[in-house]
Amino acid sequence: MTTFFVCDDGSGVRATVMVPSGGICDGKPCWKDQKKGFSYKRKTPTAGGITQVQLVAGVDGKAKIAVKGKGTALPDVPLASLASPVTLQIRSSNAGICFGSTFSFPPAVKSTAEQFKDKGD
């Protein structure tokens, strides 16, 4: 199974990156079970440029999803150009959409060329 992160701002899919579901990263399992969710970490970016993923469960729909990446393999999406509403979906290759959120209230908490941060609806 592979995990896909898909970003769509209404003008179409702006970015898709993939993270392998298993494997060993830096001598340890890439994915770890955490107290309230899961995390993925590796020093060398994946083929899609991803270095960290954090999935944290929350009460009343207040889950947290954080994805970090670096390098030339990351999709070339000017994050500051994303227009509301922005939809982020996390999909697995064999189970469809697992998590998703829409961010429809401009302005975003932070929207620069290097970072998009907001709170979902």
pLDDT, tens digit, 9 for 90 and up, residues 68-93: 888 888 888 777 777 788 888 777 77
Q: pLDDT value at position 2?
A: 65
pLDDT, tens digit, 9 for 90 and up, residues 17-63: 888 888 898 899 999 998 888 899 998 888 788 899 888 887 776 77
CA distance linking residue 53 with residue 69, whole number of Å: 9
Tokens at residue 98, please?
């697992």
Residue 70: partners with Cβ closer than 8 Å, 6 or more residues away: 45, 49, 51
Q: pTM for this structure? A: 0.76
